[in-house]
Chain A
Amino acid sequence: MTTAQTSPPAVARPALAAGRAPHRRAPRVPGTARLIAAILVILAFVSPIYLTVVNAFKPERDIVSDPAAPPIHPTLSNLSTALSRPDHLLQLGLRNSVITVVCSVLLLIPLGSAFSFYISRRRTRLRAAILALLAAGLMIPPQVVLLPTIHILTLAGLDHTYLGLILSNVGGGYLSFAVFVYVGFMRAIPEEIVEAARIDGAGGLRIWWKIIMPLVRPATATVAIFLSLWIWNDFLNPLFILGPLQGQTITTGLYLSVGQFQMNYGQLFGIMFLAGVIPVAGYLVMQKQFIAGLTAGSTK
């Protein structure tokens, strides 16, 4: 989410030690006590998420009487109310978010990796300068480029279109992130591999696609996962670039329709639960790669 849609877990290198088990030392605190402490601390930490989940399945009366209790009289009515809204907030929002995320990421990965491959092959001053220019994109606040981007899109006839939103995602700070991750990985690939392929007569495109891409699969996983998450949770670009007429992404849809209502807790938590469940499910499925990606970023 907020974590800087453009911030990199720094220069990456192939993940070596992602899942290595730490060595067991003689525990100074007894194991069970420590585990219980850990569980309590983490549960308190994620209590807002816990509240969202349990209350999405509780009748209003139970939420008010004890918000923290598990659903004793479980109900699906909050979820069905959320899904049967006349504006189809969730269905349309989720669909639009999927379109935006999938198209953006499918474009960002080949563009980012091919660019990184090209730029990391030879170290010249020009290429270093271009790389520095791209790195700068990581810290540009999106508010700085927002209105000019809209002007450019308007002139090209792409204002408030999905294509416009997707292209501005692809060209914006996200590309910087992809390049940053890929360059780190690609510099670690021995030059000989590329040379050998060249001698065999393979062209640049072929080498990149057939040889390099399989080698940097962890980088692709990192880029795909993080960019999907950030683009899914993006707020400012869809709010301004897409606007209200082409339908909302789930994030802006929530903001625009939940705001000012007297909405009871059950309805609110029902909507929040359904809106949040896709990225969370995605994260739970992909968490191995997710954490590996972070590990790749944080070890040098």
Chain B
Amino acid sequence: MKSRSRWLRDVRNDLGLRLIAATALLLYVIFIVVPVLMSLHSSFTDENPLQSGSNFIGLANYRTMVHDGELHATVLYTLALALAVTVVANVVGIAFAVLLNRSKLSYRVLRTVAFLPQVVSGVIVGFVWKTILTEDGLLNNALTRLHLVKEPVDWLGTPHMAQLSVGIVVAWVLSGFTTVVYLAALQNIPPELYDASSIDGATSRQQFRMITLRLVAPATTISVTISLITVLKLYDVITVLTSGGPANATESTAQYIVKLAFTSDRFGYASAVAMGLLLLSAVIALSVTSFLRRREIDL
């Protein structure tokens, strides 16, 4: 009796909380779960945003993906970009963090400044870098003035250079983020560890390898995972910087999906590619995270 009335009271007491929690869950279901299921469903149809009806066409869209050269090129570029940017941004992040890990005011100011690329929106980043990188842009202007190059460099003008330039810009953005993550991790390393190893006669290189790298491993997990996921859904920077050109060389898979859906009117196929990207992101994120977590323990 008594416990039953208490249970009733609990339910009544918790009603408000439950209501808010349920609202949150409902919104998530409406805006993530249902849309993913709808996309999954579209991926088996020939849906076209200009037409009203659509037909069920089974796995045809997925079969098309196998022979779609442009898709393969975007996936390849996206993966290469993800890998390269992740490596560069994390190496730069660790290096900057070690460089800036001092408590003096001047270093704290530098730390603040180093995060700025991450604060500015991708559209602004794209426009500013575009101004810097175009044929008679600020960088070529400076390089020719300093006689470092004879002729302007084609930063955005050939497929390979444009691919490289996009990589540099994205790595630049992410390096601000990784620097702060690694700095935070460095500050949690007990200084005694360094003292003890100094007494044992460890060189600074040994210290970096044996202490620093090992103890920032959890930060590496976060930083690497976030870098990878960011590049896999990259849209705004590329759209502004190169619009995927020249000759589609810098088109990311995320951009290709938007192009298929909204320019080529192939929404069914776009959904199938989106499902592919979702699967790819999930596999990469989960395997990298579990690998890095295991490594955290091993170290």
Find residues 205-263 in chain B having any chain A CB closer than 8 Å to their own CB.
218-219, 221-223, 225-226, 229-230, 232-237, 239-240, 254, 257-258, 261
B229 touches A7 (CB 8 A): yes
B229 touches A4 (CB 8 A): yes
Find residues 16-64 in chain A having any chain B CB closer than 8 Å to their own CB.
16-25, 28, 34-35, 37-39, 41-42, 45-46, 48-49, 51-52, 64
B125 touches A1 (CB 8 A): yes
Q: Does A77 contact B (CB under 8 A)?
A: no
The CA-CA distance from A21 to B104 in the complex, in Å, is 9
Interfacial chain A residues near B106, Cβ < 8 Å? 35, 39
B68 to chain A: closest CB distance in Å? 17
The one of B13, B96, B221, B232 in contact with A204, judged by C-beta atoms closer than 8 angstroms, is B13
B298 to chain A: closest CB distance in Å? 16
Band of interface residues on A: 35 or more
The CA-CA distance from A287 to B111 in the complex, in Å, is 10
- Residue with the highest number of chain B CB atoms closer than 10 Å, among A24, A146, A251, A290: A146
B119 touches A67 (CB 8 A): no
Q: What 1/0 mask marks residues of chain B from 3 to 38 whose CB sits below 8 Å from any chain A CB?
A: 000000010111111101101110111111111101
A144 touches B277 (CB 8 A): yes
Q: Does B188 contact A (CB under 8 A)?
A: yes
With A7-B230, A49-B120, A291-B184 in contact, is A268–B131 under 8 Å at CB? yes
Q: Does B278 contact A (CB under 8 A)?
A: yes
Q: Does A283 contact B (CB under 8 A)?
A: yes
A44 to chain B: closest CB distance in Å? 11
8 other contacts beyond A144-B274, A298-B219, with CB at 8 A cut-off?
Answer: A38-B107, A48-B172, A140-B36, A235-B122, A272-B128, A279-B119, A279-B120, A298-B185
With A10-B221, A114-B24 in contact, is A143–B32 under 8 Å at CB? no
Find residues 150-197 in chain A having any chain B CB closer than 8 Å to their own CB.
151-152, 167-168, 170-173, 175-176, 179
With A143-B233, A172-B31 in contact, is A280–B116 under 8 Å at CB? yes
The CA-CA distance from A46 to B275 in the complex, in Å, is 37
B226 touches A3 (CB 8 A): yes
Interface-forming stretch among B50-58, B59-67, B149-157, B173-181? Answer: B173-181
A205 to chain B: closest CB distance in Å? 4
A140 touches B278 (CB 8 A): yes
Find residues 63-117 in chain B having any chain A CB closer than 8 Å to their own CB.
96, 99-104, 106-107, 110-117
B-to-A contact residues, CB < 8 Å: 10, 12-18, 20-21, 23-25, 27-36, 38-39, 42, 49, 96, 99-104, 106-107, 110-125, 127-129, 131-132, 138, 141-142, 170, 172-175, 177, 180-189, 191-192, 194-195, 198, 204, 218-219, 221-223, 225-226, 229-230, 232-237, 239-240, 254, 257-258, 261, 267, 270-271, 274-275, 277-278, 281-282, 285
Interfacial chain A residues near B28, Cβ < 8 Å? 133-134, 137, 171-172, 175-176
Q: Does A215 contact B (CB under 8 A)?
A: no
12 pairs, CB–CB < 8 Å, chain A vs chain B: A2-B234, A28-B204, A41-B99, A45-B117, A46-B117, A139-B285, A143-B233, A144-B257, A148-B39, A203-B16, A284-B112, A297-B222
Find residues 59-111 in chain A having any chain B CB closer than 8 Å to their own CB.
64, 67-68, 110-111
B52 to chain A: closest CB distance in Å? 12
B118 touches A3 (CB 8 A): yes
The CA-CA distance from A279 to B275 in the complex, in Å, is 33
Interfacial chain A residues near B185, Cβ < 8 Å? 298-299
B128 touches A114 (CB 8 A): no
Closest to B180 in A: A294
With A140-B36, A280-B120, A294-B181 in contact, is A3–B188 under 8 Å at CB? no
Q: Does A276 contact B (CB under 8 A)?
A: yes
Q: Does A147 contact B (CB under 8 A)?
A: yes
Q: What 1/0 mask marks residues of chain A from 200 to 215 whose CB sits below 8 Å from any chain B CB?
A: 0011110010000000
A291 touches B180 (CB 8 A): yes
Q: Does A9 contact B (CB under 8 A)?
A: yes
A48 touches B32 (CB 8 A): no
Q: Tell me how many residue pairs across A and B have CB atoms closer than 8 Å.
A: 329
Closest to A151 in B: B38
B190 to chain A: closest CB distance in Å? 8
Interfacial chain B residues near A133, Cβ < 8 Å? 28, 33
A3 to chain B: closest CB distance in Å? 5
B184 touches A294 (CB 8 A): yes
The CA-CA distance from A18 to B174 in the complex, in Å, is 21
A22 touches B267 (CB 8 A): no
Interfacial chain B residues near A130, Cβ < 8 Å? 25
Q: Does A141 contact B (CB under 8 A)?
A: yes
The CA-CA distance from A232 to B131 in the complex, in Å, is 23
Q: Does A145 contact B (CB under 8 A)?
A: yes
B119 touches A283 (CB 8 A): yes
Q: Does A125 contact B (CB under 8 A)?
A: no
A8 to chain B: closest CB distance in Å? 8
A115 touches B16 (CB 8 A): no
Closest to A253 in B: B123
A205 touches B186 (CB 8 A): no
- Residue with the highest number of chain B CB atoms closer than 10 Å, among A22, A25, A49, A258: A22
Q: What 1/0 mask marks residues of chain A from 286 to 300 whose CB sits below 8 Å from any chain B CB?
A: 010011001101111
Closest to A179 in B: B24
A111 touches B30 (CB 8 A): no
B25 touches A115 (CB 8 A): yes
